[in-house]
Amino acid sequence: MVQLSILRPNFASDKDPAGRPEKIVRTRKRGAVRHRPSALIEFLDRRQVIAYVAAIGAGIVLGLVAPGAGESLDWAINPALGALLYVTFLQIPTRDLARSLRDRRFLGAVGVLNFAIVPLVVGAMFAFLPDDQAVRFGVLLVLLSPCIDYVIVFSGLAGGSAHRLLAATPLLLLAQMLLLPVYLAVFLGSDLAQIIAVRPLVEAFVILIVMPLLLAWVTQTLALRLPLARRVHSGATATMVPLMVIVLLVVVASQIPKVSGSLGDVVAVVPFYVLFLVVMAFVGRWVASRFAFDNPGRRALVFSGATRNSLVVLPLALALPAGYELAAAVVVTQTLVEVVGMVVYVRVIPYLVPPR
């Protein structure tokens, strides 16, 4: 997944239909945090899509040209992913879980869209996916998990309500952790037991998801009281783009040698990812109209239904047993498709969901 941009949408107002970005300036009653990114970080941030595509391309080339070197990067995957997830979770207002419960109508719409309608859309596509179980598992893993990070940025850039999505992220993360195993069992049935080795998945979940999440929560709490923790919190966000580049390069380069004979199956899922983005734009607009939201709320809901959580579920795909390496490649492929799709969304959604 792409990470939260240093150039953020204007969270202070949902009235700006253009959703023009502004430099982030965070203030709190206790211990204000003020952070202006360096020129280099701003440069990388403005070109992050190009950087991510370049990282994936470089990983493919390295994995094909020097497969031994690519596979030797396996050791770097978990540390890089752990660091990236920690920085990602720093952006989630875990301390403000109670605040996220206030806008119940928006939370209800987000829940219906992501946990009732999206599974139906995925179910309609499921029968047409390639027969390879690793491919199917990877597609289910990523499409059934709603995004919790850069959806806020892209929604804001299109004039969506960034603060509503930000407030909803803790509950979205919790809900998908609880419901994803249920959805996988429904879609795969008895085949799920053949795919999943419980211990590696639990270890990956605890080490790469739970621990970074808890560490981020501790950092957020300490940042209210300690200057050093505030500096750590502020500085960590500047590493998001470089960390994402490293993760994409390392994961792709290390996995390509393992799946080089089945790249056709990976490419075959691209049309499904594109179709998902197209369908969810219209489905999201329809759901938003049923709940009668204002314009920023409608656009935010469309983005929530379309963006997926590939970063958080990638450790689970990497923890699958031998023979299921394609699952991780399928998850990373969704990232590439979605990055391009979000650039299109930012331009198209204001026309699809015009001001009333």
CATH at 227: 1.20.1530.20
Asked if residue 303 is part of any domain, the answer here is yes
CA distances from 187 to 133, 181, 225 (A): 11, 10, 47
Token pair, residue 150, equals 């850069």
Token pair, residue 328, equals 């991780």
Residue for token pair 């204007």: 10
Give the 3-state secondary structure of residue 160.
coil
Give residue 335's Cα distance to chain centre.
Answer: 8
Domain that holds residue 86: 7-352
Count of C-beta atoms within a 10 Å radius of residue 137: 25
Question: At residue 239, does pLDDT exceed 90?
Answer: no
Encode pLDDT of 126-162 as tens digits: 999 998 899 999 999 999 999 887 788 788 889 998 8
Pick 34 or 206 by higher pLDDT.
206
Asked if residue 1 is part of any domain, the answer here is no
Asked if residue 26 is part of any domain, the answer here is yes
Asked if residue 108 is part of any domain, the answer here is yes
Asked if residue 288 is part of any domain, the answer here is yes
Encode pLDDT of 196-223 as tens digits: 766 777 777 888 888 988 898 898 889 8
CB 144 within 8 A of CB 307: no
Asked if residue 314 is part of any domain, the answer here is yes
Asked if residue 2 is part of any domain, the answer here is no
* pLDDT value of position 29: 42
Encode pLDDT of 163-178 as tens digits: 888 888 888 888 998 8
Token pair, residue 317, equals 């795909």
Asked if residue 57 is part of any domain, the answer here is yes
Integer Cα distance of 91 and 237 in angstroms: 8
* pLDDT value of position 97: 58
Interacting residues of 289 by C-beta distance below 8 A, sequence separation 6+? 298
> Angle between the 48-65 and 240-259 helix axes, to the nearest 10 degrees?
30
Question: At residue 38, does pLDDT exceed 60?
Answer: yes
Q: Which of 121, 127, 90 is nearest to 243 (CA)?
A: 90
Q: How many domains does the chain have?
A: 1
